[in-house]
Amino acid sequence: MSQRVGTVKILPARTPVRPSSLRVVLVSLLLLSAAAGAVDPRVAQDSRQAFKSFAQPLVGNWDCNLRTWDDRFHERMVETVQKRRFEWVLKGNFLQESVHAVLRGGDTIHVGINLLSVDPETMHVLGSGFDATTPDRRATFDAELAPDLRHMSGKIEIRPTDENARAERFDWQWLDDRRTRSRVYSRASNGREFLNHELICKRAADTAAGAGE
C-alpha cells in the first residue's frame, strides 16, 4: 500500500530478491514443467502392452498383392506381387516390416522397410517407411488403434514435403484370422478423395501366427 504526504508519494521499501530464492523459483518451475510433460507410467505400460498385443499376430511371413490406381476414375491399375515379413527389432521396441517385390521369374528384390512403434501417451501407432527407389525421402504415419486392436486409421505423409504434397488417409484392418487389408486414399486435383493403393496380405502357409516371438 502507498502513502501520500502532501504531493510526495512514498512507496514502501521492497525486499531484495536473493539469488538463492530466485534459483528455488526457477527449479520449481522446471519441475512443474517436467511433471506436466511426463507420461503416467501406467498409461505408458498400457500403451506398450496394447501395441504388443496388436503387433505380435503380425510377426512372420506374408504373401501380398498391391494394387495401385493413378486417378479417381480407376482407368489404369497396376498390380504388384509382394512378400512381406514382420519381426521384432531393437530390443523388441519396434516392429520391422521388410517388403520384397516378387519378379516374374519368382526371384525377390528388397524394395522397402517400415518401422512401427507406439506413442506411450496417445497409444497411436507411429511409423517410418523407406523405399529403395527414393532413398532421400521417407513416409511417416500416425494411426489411431481401435480398442479391439484389429483396426487402425490415420494419416501418411512423405518427407521432406513439397508444395504439392498432401497428407493421405489410410485404413488398415484384419479381414479374418489370416488376411489383412490396408488402403491409402489420395485427393485428386479437384479435391475429391479416391482409393490410391490397396494392399491385401495373406499369412504365408509356412508361418504360424506370432511366429518368431
Rounded to 5 degrees, what are φ and ψ at 17?
-85, 120
Q: Hey, CA dihedral for 27, 29, 30, 34, is it positive or negative?
A: positive
C-alpha 26/C-alpha 197 separation (Å) is 52
Count of beta carbons in the 10 Å neighbourhood of residue 158: 17
User: Could you tell me the pLDDT band of residue 52, with boundaries at 50, 70 and 90?
Assistant: very high
Instruction: Write out pLDDT tens, residues 57-92.
Output: 999 999 999 999 877 677 788 999 999 999 999 999
The superfamily CATH assigns to domain 44-203 is Calycin beta-barrel core domain (2.40.128.20)
Q: Chain-wide mean pLDDT for the chain?
A: 80
The structure's pTM equals 0.74
For position 90, what pLDDT does the model report?
Answer: 94
Average pLDDT over residues 155-183: 86
**Alpha-carbon gap, residue 113 to 133, rounded angstroms:** 12
The string of pLDDT tens digits covering residues 16-49 is: 545 455 454 444 444 444 444 455 566 567 888 9
Classify 60 as helix, strand or coil: strand
The CA-atom distances, in angstroms, between 20 and each of 14, 23, 70, 174, 197 are 17, 5, 66, 60, 62
